[in-house]
Amino acid sequence: MKLTFLGTGEACDPNRLNTSLLLETGSDYHLLDCGFTVPHAFFGHCHDPEQLKTLWISHFHGDHFFGVPLLLLRLWEMGRQGPLHIIMGVPAEEKIRTALELAYPNFQERLQFPVHFTQLTPGEKFNYQDLHYMSAGTIHSQPSFALKIKNEKKSFYYSGDGRATREGEELMQGCDLIVHEAFTLEDRLESHGSIASCLSLQIKSACNTMALVHLARETREEEKELAKILSENKDILLPTDGEQLIL
């Protein structure tokens, strides 16, 4: 598996794209979250409209799903024919179709490829070829879900937004990589993770590597503190946009 951090920022960060991950398995692409600023970065990596097989959306905040209309428009323009699976922890179809209608009225009737919507609730599995998807709720200001993707060899966990729940902690056990949002330095907000809580999650989960994303702009400004944390914790990464990891 190859993972590209298309974006690592929060909603309003002027220096980073919205947090989004591109997973490559062979020639297949799987996209995790698609906010306002993500589609152009995605198409910088994608020149074959059939490559994208699944799209996971963690929750309905604009920095995680308002890029979907442009994503679909461009795939249409490129002549895609094969089905796209959109997967969410809550029912997705009505909101996605509404967003599409607002962005490009009457366009969806012309979409020439099928879009399949799947609700993946905790405890269930979605399988795409040798990939297994599992979800867990997070504690956020609206329903939001973390995702674990595993194949026979590797597994990784992406938090989306929000603090980890107990079921999320179970899901991240033993993962090769955890990508977690860390909005603040210390636990301060009810609905967001922090670097402090991520450090303890990494120890509890026995995970090899943890990448922190979606830091608030004020948190990014704590440069000395961040440098200290990274120097003391070699398994913690602070990826930049476009950075890649091989799992």
Backbone φ and ψ of 116, nearest 5°: -105, 130
- Per CB under 5 A, residues contacting Zn ion are 61, 63, 161
Contact between 144 and 59 (Cβ < 8 Å): yes
| DSSP E strand stretches across the chain | 2-7, 20-25, 28-32, 52-57, 84-88, 115-119, 126-128, 131-139, 145-150, 155-158, 163-164, 177-181, 209-213, 236-237, 244-246
Q: How far is the CB of 161 from Zn ion (least distance, A)?
A: 4
Nearer to Zn ion, 38 or 237 (CB): 38
Nearer to Zn ion, 50 or 161 (CB): 161
Nearer to Zn ion, 61 or 150 (CB): 61
Strands in 84-88's sheet, in edge-to-edge order, are 115-119, 84-88, 52-57, 28-32, 20-25, 2-7, 244-246
Q: How far is the CB of 5 from Zn ion (least distance, A)?
A: 14
Q: How far is the CB of 175 from Zn ion (least distance, A)?
A: 21
Q: How far is the CB of 213 from Zn ion (least distance, A)?
A: 10
